[in-house]
Amino acid sequence: MTDFRSVEAAEFRLAMRNLASGVAIVATGTESTRRGLTVSSVTSLCMDPPCLLVGVNSSSETHAAVLANGRFGVSLLSRGQEDLALRFAGGAKGIDRFATAPWQQGVLDVPLLEPALGGLECVLHHHQLVGTHGLFIGRIVATHGGNGDPLVNFQGELRALPQA
């Protein structure tokens, strides 16, 4: 398999624009040590034990914080939360990202967005570096339901699915 070259990053990015994916905020920490970022790389991994997989750029402060804390929350975003998604994608830094929305600390003491489509609390089960990103496998210990229509990333834009 090493005889094959990898595609260029720009080519890969262009191809992946056509895969619609949910938008979420991964967060960890308490009070002034809260860290979080927007991700569109969250997927269920297995049901026994219930686990999810999330990819986080290894240069981000959230990556280091999740490793240090060993737990994280995933807040699933809905229609109308585009500004919050952009804020956590780079519009603000550190604890300042949390200033414009209500947050609660879950049972694992991780930040969860209060008006989210859903929330999951995870303990870190496994971590693996692959290229520029860390893959976190989180064992889910609590879930939180919500209301709304999902926010998705498609062709480089944040969109809501059409209502049925």
pTM of the model: 0.93
Question: Helix, strand, or coil here: 66?
Answer: helix
Query: What Rg value do the Cα atoms of the chain yield, rounded?
Result: 16
- Give the tens place of pLDDT for each residue, 10-68: 998 899 898 999 999 999 999 999 999 999 999 999 999 999 999 999 999 999 999 99
111 cis-preceded (ω within 30 degrees of 0): no
| pLDDT given for residue 164 in this prediction | 62
Helix (H) or strand (E) holding 156: none
| pLDDT given for residue 1 in this prediction | 57
Cβ-based neighbours of 6, under 8 Å, separated by 6 or more: none
